């Protein structure tokens, strides 16, 4: 393999998914070199309503769909199912995250698709999986955060009211576990010649990835590590990942801090005094350089409690290009998250901006199916294919 090759070059992916669980897996496949075609309904992915809009592309949608191509199709129109079957014959992977009954109801369940292409690998992501007592339930990430105990734990440990998490971890965990399953299935297909259906439940993926769940299911919350503390320094707030007792030993043993407490003191009073002294010491560190020098001398892991608006200035994020600038399709650039894969002898990374609805109807159907532009125009006239006419021109019939 040459140093310039993408690892998944040549894989063809149909991405029927929307929002985040599903689109994120498709985005990572695209960053790794697959030809990912988003199949979007005429009313659009709901994330087209979220984020800063540049050239008709909102930020949330743009981040999860960058680099993909797009065909916009009304799956209920006469002839749509047949067109999907044609595409499936050419595809390696299909991703969807509808409720489990939706694709079969459209005549596009795994059994129907497998009959068209036995090598197809289909990834289905849903809140509660296929064939279970709650398979019928719609679910976005916050629903799973509640059901999996994450919201309760956050409130219980922090003394907070019940609130959702500030990121959609149930979606991204399911998406990443789905990605692992897809790549494992691709390797297995090399041996067997056959594809398969991968059923990922968001609640399964969340529980499997929860490193704290054993405290709850073994009734052992009291054995958990002490919570990390946040402190105000003269430069700004930090989180210290250190047992307070170790921090106190380091301050008094290495940094010359005096300990005015004694054995006869009540424990609560001793802790109060020591925490007050720690707070005063850290507040007296005026710059980030002073903070780093002090933490380094004590061999303590620490992190700046950073406003995410300044994330691009985080030194490692900046040095590793974790956020990059790409074409905004309006004559400038816009920031976007980069995929985290760094290969020694291959390429990966975001490959372009997100597509408009129907932008690649002609390009994909000509390239994948050898249709003529006239045939594509006929599909538009029949109502099978749609497009965003503000940004995309319809081909002539």
Please list the active-site residues. Answer: 171
Closest by CA to 55, choosing from 327, 352, 323, is 327
φ/ψ (deg, to 5) at 155: -70, -45
Q: 3-state class of 188 per DSSP? A: helix
Cβ 114 vs Cβ 87: under 8 Å: no
Cβ 355 vs Cβ 338: under 8 Å: no
What is the C-alpha to C-alpha distance for residues 273 and 289, in angstroms, rounded to an integer?
Answer: 27
What is the C-alpha to C-alpha distance for residues 248 and 242, in angstroms, rounded to an integer?
Answer: 10
Query: DSSP code of 355?
Result: P
Query: DSSP code of 354?
Result: P
What is the C-alpha to C-alpha distance for residues 168 and 73, in angstroms, rounded to an integer?
Answer: 28
What is the C-alpha to C-alpha distance for residues 380 and 181, in angstroms, rounded to an integer?
Answer: 35
Chain centroid to CA 267: how far? 45
Secondary-structure breakdown of the chain: helix, strand, coil percentages, each rounded to the nearest 5: 40, 15, 45
φ/ψ (deg, to 5) at 93: -135, 145
What is the C-alpha to C-alpha distance for residues 290 and 181, in angstroms, rounded to an integer?
Answer: 46
Closest by CA to 132, choosing from 220, 200, 73, is 200
Q: 3-state class of 279 per DSSP? A: helix
DSSP codes, 324-343: EEEE-SSSSEEEEEPP----
Q: Count CA atoms within 13 Å of residue 94 on its CB side.
A: 28
């Amino acid at each position: 393999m040459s140093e310039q090759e993408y690892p998944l070059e040549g894989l063809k992916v149909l991405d029927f998914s929307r929002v985040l669980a599903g689109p994120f897996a498709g985005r990572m496949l695209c960053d790794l070199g697959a030809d990912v075609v988003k199949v979007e309904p005429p009313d659009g992915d709901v994330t087209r309503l979220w984020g800063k809009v540049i050239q008709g592309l909102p930020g949330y949608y743009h981040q999860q769909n960058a680099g993909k191509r797009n065909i916009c199709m009304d799956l209920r129109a006469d002839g749509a199912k047949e067109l999907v079957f044609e595409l499936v014959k050419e595809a390696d992977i299909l991703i969807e995250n509808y409720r489990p009954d939706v694709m079969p109801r459209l005549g596009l369940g795994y059994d129907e698709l497998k009959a068209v292409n036995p090598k197809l690998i289909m990834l289905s992501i849903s809140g509660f999986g296929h064939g279970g007592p709650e398979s019928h339930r719609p679910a976005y990430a916050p629903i799973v955060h509640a059901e999996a105990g994450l919201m309760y734990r956050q409130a219980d440990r922090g003394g907070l009211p019940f609130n959702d998490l500030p990121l959609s971890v149930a979606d991204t965990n399911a998406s990443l576990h789905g990605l692992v399953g897809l790549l494992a299935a691709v390797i297995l297909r090399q041996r067997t010649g056959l594809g398969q259906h991968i059923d990922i439940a968001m609640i399964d993926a969340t529980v499997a990835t929860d490193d704290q769940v054993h405290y709850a299911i073994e009734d052992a919350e009291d054995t958990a590590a002490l919570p990390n503390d946040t402190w105000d320094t003269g430069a700004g707030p930090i989180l210290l990942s250190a047992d307070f007792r170790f921090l106190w030993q380091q301050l008094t043993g290495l940094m010359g801090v005096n300990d005015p407490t004694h054995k006869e003191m009540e424990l609560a009073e001793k802790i109060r005094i020591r925490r007050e002294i720690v707070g005063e010491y850290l507040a007296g560190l005026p710059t980030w350089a002073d903070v780093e020098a002090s933490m380094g001398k004590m061999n303590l892991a620490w992190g700046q409690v950073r406003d995410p608006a300044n994330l691009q200035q985080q030194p490692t994020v900046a040095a590793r290009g974790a956020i990059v600038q790409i074409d905004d399709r309006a004559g400038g650039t816009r920031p976007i998250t980069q995929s985290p894969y760094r290969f020694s002898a291959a390429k990966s990374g975001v490959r372009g901006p997100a597509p408009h609805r129907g932008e690649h109807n002609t390009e994909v159907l000509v390239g994948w199916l050898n249709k003529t532009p006239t045939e594509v125009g006929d599909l538009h006239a029949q109502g099978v294919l749609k497009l965003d006419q503000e940004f995309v021109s319809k081909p002539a019939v």
